[in-house]
A and B are shown apart, each in its own frame.
Chain A
Amino acid sequence: METMLFILSAFSLILTGLFGVLTRKNLVKILLSLNILETGINLLIVSLGYFKGGKAPILTNSISAAQGMNFVDPLPHALVLTSIVIGLGTTALALTLILNHFRSHRTVEFIQLEVNE
């Protein structure tokens, strides 16, 4: 049930981000929507390894790996760690591109390019 809740909220985040990407014209808002979408995808990946009562995958003396294996799946966590860092890098790059766009056109919106013939 909890996993289902996680997945539903993840998909609502993804759809919110998708809506923003599809309908906004402001480049900064599009970037924000992309980040919301990315957060939703991260939540979805993590929730695929979750179950109720699962412990953090760190071995201690009281919980070793044999006792019923009540760890959550550690692989999605590692993948999401990668995904977060890459998201940070791409966001920084996209902000730089938007800044350059603003400098040359004095607007952060999509513009219709005028073709000189």
Chain B
Amino acid sequence: MMKRNEPLINLFGLILIIFLAVFVYLALTDGRQGLTMLSADLKQRVSYSYLLKSVTAAGPTENQHGQAEVIPGREGYENGAVNIVTAIVADYRMLDTFGEILVLFAASAGVSLLMVERKREKAKEASEIVKTAVPIIMLFALVTGFYIISHGHLTPGGGFPGGAVIASAFILQFLAFQKRSRNKAFKILESLAGIGLLVMGLIGLYLEGSLFANFLPTGTLGATISAAGIMIIYALIGIKVAAELSSISADFIGE
């Protein structure tokens, strides 16, 4: 009975999709809304104050130095990160990121809860080549992950990609050596990082008056060790993401 209806459902879906496509096309070409949204000037957007690092300064077009310009090498700019995306993720909109981390935690906890432990049939052992190569590759992956996390305020990257790279090293280990004994350590590490993030937010609330406000020295803009608040927050996020992804994949592999 199901098989007989299949072409009809496909046809219905296709008609609906074509209808939607025509609607979207008309809206993009005829309506004013889409086109004005595309050609909007950056100076009229919220991002302009992020780019100038003038979110808490007096005017929307001037920063702490009273300029409409941000010069790397100087001191005293908001949060001190050169990478504006990092500045948004880890400082200006940190509450969003905290919610995202909570969602990731909920997903990880749900996977652990729903993945029923089952008697596992003995898998074939990995070959000698794999067993020799995996520790070397793991080392490189860990170093790359730490590099990406620690340079989050300077270059593209940060806690989430770096954490994913570190987790990939642990996935390799699970696959090659077939053990998931450190699952509990991941959970503890993850909880500690989460508590650390919350403590950072509360200290910001106590000292600066708003949740996750930056209370640490910002340093020289563009220096390797600068933007202490963002570095600490990204390190905690990196630990948490790495532990969560590792424990999710350990659940899937050990299933």
Contact B68 A15 (CB under 8 A): no
Chain B's closest residue to A49 (CB) is B47
Across the interface, do B103 and A86 meet the contact criterion of CB distance under 8 Å?
yes
CA distance A91 to B81 in the complex (A): 32
Q: Which residues of B contact A103 (CB under 8 A)?
A: 116
**B136 interfacial by beta-carbon distance below 8 Å:** no
What is the 8 Å Cβ interface bit string for chain B, positions 63-105, against chain A (1 contact, 0 not)? 0000111111100000000111100110001001100100110
Residues from chain A with Cβ under 8 Å of B143 in the complex: none
| A85, B110: Cβ atoms closer than 8 Å | no
Contact flags (1/0) for B133-150 with A, using CB distance below 8 Å?
000000000000000000
Q: Is the CB of B17 within 8 A of A90?
A: no
Q: Is the CB–CB distance between A23 and B106 below 8 Å?
A: no
On whether the beta carbons of B83 and A85 are closer than 8 Å, the reply is no
Q: Is B59 on the interface with A (CB-CB < 8 A)?
A: no
Partner of B17, one of A7, A18, A59, A65: A18
A67, closest chain B residue (CB): B69
Query: A85: which of B21, B68, B100 is its contact (CB, 8 Å)?
Result: B100
Jot down 15 A-B pairs with beta carbons below 8 A, ordered by A: A7-B28, A7-B38, A15-B20, A18-B20, A59-B82, A69-B48, A77-B85, A77-B88, A78-B89, A86-B103, A86-B104, A88-B107, A89-B106, A97-B114, A99-B115
Q: Which A residues have a C-beta under 8 Å from some C-beta of B?
A: 3-4, 7-8, 11-12, 15, 18-19, 22-23, 25, 48-49, 56-61, 64-66, 69, 71, 73-75, 77-79, 81-82, 84-86, 88-90, 92-93, 95-97, 99-100, 103
What is the interface of chain B, defined by CB distance below 8 A to chain A? 2, 6, 9-10, 12-14, 16-17, 20-21, 24, 28, 34, 37-38, 42-43, 45-48, 50-52, 67-73, 82-85, 88-89, 93, 96-97, 100, 103-104, 106-108, 110-111, 114-116, 154-156, 160, 221-222, 241, 245, 248, 251-252, 255
